[in-house]
Amino acid sequence: MAQVTLRAPLSELCGGRSHEIEGATVSDVLAALEHAHPSIAGWVLDEQGRIREHVNVFVNGTHGVAETQVGPDDRVQVLPAITGG
């Protein structure tokens, strides 16, 4: 299973920074994370299942998109983008 790392406030909503999650793609992993922790429903993925515009996902340190492949030993980091105003 992939090792998913979160930052606050997502880590607080999920009860910790690190989570073992199974999924073949970034989209699958995030959906499985949401399923395991319904408290983040709507936070990382919108109601249509799309990664929110200002959330970045990295797989083994490389920026990923919904379709990026994820292996069982991969590291998936979910971070807020460097945006705002």
Partner 1 sequence: MAELLVGTKKGLFRLEGDAGNGGFEVTARAFAGQSVEYAMRDPRSGRYLASVTSWFYGPKIWVTDDPAGEWQQAEGIALPEGEEQALERIWVIVPGEADGVLYAGGAPGPLFESRDGGVTWELNRPLWEHPTRSDWSPGAGGLCLHTIAPWPGDPQKLLVAISAVGVWLSDDGGETWRHSNTGIVPEYVPEDARDNPIQHCVHDVRRAPGRPERLFMQFHGGVYRSDDAGETWLDVGEGLPSDFGFPVVVDPADPDSAYVIPLIGAEDRTTPGGTVQVWETRDAGTSWTARGEGLPARDAYLTVLRESFDSHGEGDGLELYFGATSGEVFGSADAGANWAQIADHLPPVYSVRTA
| Interacting residues with partner 1 (CB under 8 A) | 9-10, 39, 42-44, 46-50, 52, 54-55, 80-81, 83-85
Comparing CB distances to partner 1, the nearer of 3 and 80 is 80
Q: CB 22 → partner 1: shortest distance, Å?
A: 22
Angle at 62 between CA 72 and CA 78, to 5 degrees: 75
Q: Look at strands 55-59 and 18-21 and give their pairing.
A: unpaired
**Nearer to partner 1 (CB atom), residue 62 or residue 83:** 83
